[in-house]
Chains A and B, each alone.
Chain A
């Protein structure tokens, strides 16, 4: 579904990604873990070209997204993304946050979009907030809103960029629960996370990134219990205790 070929990204003289070739299949749930600065988020952001790769290719559904003439907006509609800092739209109501893109881009009738929005909101327990503005929401509620806002476009894959890192500890669970439900429903997910327990529980495959490369990967069972690379061992030794 998504393939990268020798993907690199430089920020000035800093090489953040040093050639990543990876294929993600339909239905996979990938967790990307690793120390800060290892390029996890940058890799994720390259997949929908939020960061333009310095070299290499991102191939989605057989199309190289960096090619000239590719309408990236059309492809972004098929890839949902959730950010660390939620980025919900403060000037719109909760429901409007969700319906904006489907009405504007998929030419949905407002009524129909509203109905779908309410259905999504009900699923994440926010239906009673539909007409509120996001300022009235807690962090966890904002993130749940951000997730259903992305889902309203009916994407084929969801990208999560540290979705729980900015949350108060007591709100992490509610957001992870929503992601788990998504995974159970068969959504392809790519999740950059520091929640090791969660990564182990939901992933079909875990990538460990370090210094702009995928240092090691495997099933969660294998990677968390018997990592082979010394770097993976060192990292996991620090975070799992």
Chain B
């Protein structure tokens, strides 16, 4: 098995390097879309959770707990099978359904990130703003959010890293992401270890460089505090 490692590696890379790159691209794209819309939906959920209306905050809370309490793979199955049934007129592609599922999942985690980011702002800041006469909304927009963003952005970056890894589950539905390419290459060449290693290295390079980027960014934010 290991005798052929070198030649196999060359064979797989030589034949599929384009696909691997494309897979990496799709994985990044899928992750970016997920985090972007997840951030919007998650922020919305975070504000719903802070609502004084019980049904609103209750809904957000249940949503977050439900999503976080069930496996992503199950959610992927459920959405990709359910969504086309429920909304046949949309004629959703596999890719779209999978994206929706990933967004719905990520939103729950982003909700907690945003909530924690807001909560981490010293309550004294709110008190000072309110005593000046600012309304709750003005206080949120002018005082709390600008400070919360500094807590939220780095955590959102980490969510991006997590999502990059989680999108590998989307390969269950052959959406062309990096893990799908692994399956293709593995099936066509009857090699297991080599494509695994290649895909692993690509995933690691993606997440590691992103993590480093976030750390640098975080240090900059801290410096401006």
Contacts and interface: CB of A to CB of B under 8 A. Distances in A.
Interface residues of B, number: 18
A74 B134 CA distance: 9
A100 interface: yes
Interface size class of A (residues with CB under 8 A): 20 to 34
Given A83-B124, A104-B138, A135-B225, A89 B143 contact: yes
Given A83-B124, A87-B122, A87-B124, A48 B131 contact: yes
B132 A89 contact: no
A166 to B, nearest CB: 11
A73 interface: yes
A149 B132 contact: yes
B124 A76 contact: no
A148 to B, nearest CB: 12
Contacts of A146: 128
A135 B221 CA distance: 14
A141 interface: no
Nearest to A146: B128
Interface of B: 122, 124-125, 127-135, 138, 142-143, 146-147, 225
15 contacts: A50-B130, A76-B130, A76-B133, A77-B132, A81-B128, A83-B127, A83-B128, A87-B122, A90-B147, A101-B132, A101-B134, A104-B138, A104-B142, A105-B132, A153-B132
Interface of A: 48, 50, 73-74, 76-77, 79-81, 83, 85, 87-91, 100-101, 104-105, 135, 146, 149-150, 153
